[in-house]
Structure 1
Amino acid sequence: MAKSTRNMQPGFKKYILEDSTYKGGGKKIVMPDGVTVHKLSSNENPLGYSPKVKEALANTLDDLSLYPDNTDIRLREALVKDFDGVLTVDNFITANSGSEIIDMISKAFLNEDDEVIVSQPCFLPYTAFTRWMGAKAINVPMTEDYDYNLDGILEAINDRTKLIFLASPNNPSGNYIPLTDLRNFIDKLPDHVVLVLDEVYRHFA
């Protein structure tokens, strides 16, 4: 008789077994007639894709049976241009999504019992990946206007603090961190703390 897999736990870390699966954005928002809402929570473009994308895809159809370039060098070179040459190709690492980058950062820096500072409301993977590494997310609440309490974050730092997640513009509130405030904050960070500045929505600012 086959055993149920529900009771089989072959060495999984307990904080992975206890956690739930990440669920993306829900269904389309239904609004009354005459009211239009553009839902951006799943990074979906309500305007559709560019005709240039369609053309580029069509131009690759004859090569679908061949392996593509297995490096990300063309993307990193394009990013250098996007940042006006201030950065080099060695300053970039790419992945399948922002969430995967956050996962990679968490795996690279976090051990059990480390601490990560977040400010709720925040992007769910900040806390989810922290838990999956056995680390602890410390919440420094935002202000009533949904701005970061940067002084409060600095006060929350201790010897166990490894990462701080800041998003500018923030997801989901949309607030951004003024450049002067951000520079002053960075200048006060101790050397053992890594700041993760998430600017995935910067093109909307």
Structure 2
Amino acid sequence: MSAPPDPGRYPEPPETVRLRPALEALPAYVAGKPAGDDGRRRFKASSNESPFPPLPAVRDAVVAAMDEANRYPDMAAYALREALGAKHGVDPSQIALSTGSVAVSGDLVRALVGEGDEVVYAWRSFEAYPILVGSHGGTPVQVPLTAEHEHDLESMAAAVTDRTRLVILCTPNNPTGPSLSTEQIEGFLARVPEHVVVAIDEAYREFHDPATVAGTAGIFRRHGNVVLLRTFSKMQGLAGLRIGYAVAHPRLARALGQVTVPFGASAPAQVAALASLQPGVQAELDQRAAWIREERSRLVAALAGQGWQLPRSQGNFVYFPLGEGSPAFAAFAEERGLVLRGYGTDGVRATISEQEANDLLIEVAGQWRQR
């Protein structure tokens, strides 16, 4: 057998392809930095991942699915959509699946937004929003958060124009943490035209205090322009399998099915998600979510004792609004074995991780304030 060609032997041909001009203005998505491998114990708290491995029932389902990896997955994902339809009290046809809720958000843009149409969302919020909107020819309308790092719903409603096709509400908001109440969302919807779709992105819903979490199921039933976005990446710990979904009203659900990537939800992802909905597994996942909430409370209390004043987070993370000091704080933490997620000169997000990592965050934050 001959050796493979050496790419260095041949000069690269000139590229004269014409890329879309819109790409020049797109920000790059910055993934959470992995922990380095330099022989010392390091913790990755940069990607809002679950600190827990898959539960045995979920792992067994994935392993079994690999026996048929030579076959395409069920494109209709009927078993999973039926289970999710029952969970949300809707027809299975109203469940739109894809590779994570970020992909479903992209489907929403493709289904709703034409060249020059506008999408309104808070900023700073989920980093993928401007990329999804701009890459499909839409115009991002970013409405600054309040001084408390919350959605400024008054300004967001005022930003809706005749060109607005979609509004995204991220609650709890990633990366800052505050959430929206039922009353706040209802008040906002009263000011938005009924032909404008309002997507409620609830990727972190399970980490919210159950006593105060927004009643989005009822909101969905009362408003024909509301769509709910959910993911299995966070509380269920299936980030590496990539699966999320939308709960949509029939007409929009059909449109999402028209524009989504065929076979986007892989067979292992489908069976893992289905296994995570089993009552026994769900009970264990609820215990894990409760542990995250307890650790968040412990962490926030310790940081407050050091003098930190952080936004009130309902996600599996906390946010340090350090402004110009953000890069230095992220570097300071990494030097001490803790990898966090920096957002330029806005702030730094820290995931609620293993207890050791959370303890280290408390230690690092205390050292920073004592410099």
Give TM-score scaled by structure 1 length: 0.83
User: What is the aligned partner in structure 2 of residue 74 from structure 1?
Assistant: 79
Q: Does 1:16 align with 2:26?
A: no
Q: For residues 156 and 49 of structure 2, what CA distance do their matches in structure 1 show?
A: 32
Give TM-score scaled by structure 2 length: 0.48
User: What is the aligned partner in structure 2 of residue 4 from structure 1?
Assistant: 14
User: What is the aligned partner in structure 2 of residue 54 from structure 1?
Assistant: 59
Q: Does 1:202 align with 2:208?
A: no
Provide closer, same or farther for how the CA distance between residues 62 and 165 of structure 1 changes in structure 2, counting only shifts above 3 A: closer
Q: For residues 130 and 199 of structure 2, what CA distance do their matches in structure 1 show?
A: 13
Provide closer, same or farther for how the CA distance between residues 133 and 66 of structure 1 changes in structure 2, counting only shifts above 3 A: closer
The AA in structure 2 aligned to 1:9 is V
Please report how far the alpha carbon of residue 66 of structure 1 lies from its aligned counterpart in structure 2 after TM superposition. 4.1
Once the two structures are superposed, residues 121-157 of structure 1 have per-residue CA deviations (whole angstroms, 9 ceiling, x without a partner) of 1111211111112222112111111111111111111
Once the two structures are superposed, residues 35-58 of structure 1 have per-residue CA deviations (whole angstroms, 9 ceiling, x without a partner) of x9773x535221111111222233
Q: For residues 114 and 126 of structure 2, what CA distance do their matches in structure 1 show?
A: 21
Pick 1 or 2: higher relative contact order, CA cutoff 8 A, min separation 6: 2
User: What is the aligned partner in structure 2 of residue 127 from structure 1?
Assistant: 130
C-alpha contact 1:102 1:125 (8 A) present in aligned 2? no
Q: Does 1:172 align with 2:182?
A: no
User: What is the aligned partner in structure 1 of residue 146 from structure 2?
Assistant: 143
User: Percent identity among equivalent residues?
Assistant: 27
Q: Does 1:154 align with 2:164?
A: no
The structure carrying a bigger strand percent of its residues is: 2
State which drifts further: 188-197 or 175-184: 188-197
Please report how far the alpha carbon of residue 187 of structure 1 lies from its aligned counterpart in structure 2 after TM superposition. 2.2
C-alpha contact 1:38 1:46 (8 A) present in aligned 2? no
Q: CA RMSD in A?
A: 2.6
Tell which structure's C-alpha radius of gyration is larger. Answer: 2
Q: 1:102 aligns with which of 97, 102, 105?
A: 105
The AA in structure 1 aligned to 2:84 is L
The AA in structure 2 aligned to 1:76 is R
Provide closer, same or farther for how the CA distance between residues 139 and 65 of structure 1 changes in structure 2, counting only shifts above 3 A: closer
Structure 2: give runs of 5+ residues left out of the alignment: 1-10, 209-371
Please report how far the alpha carbon of residue 203 of structure 1 lies from its aligned counterpart in structure 2 after TM superposition. 0.9
Q: Number of residues paired by the alignment?
A: 196
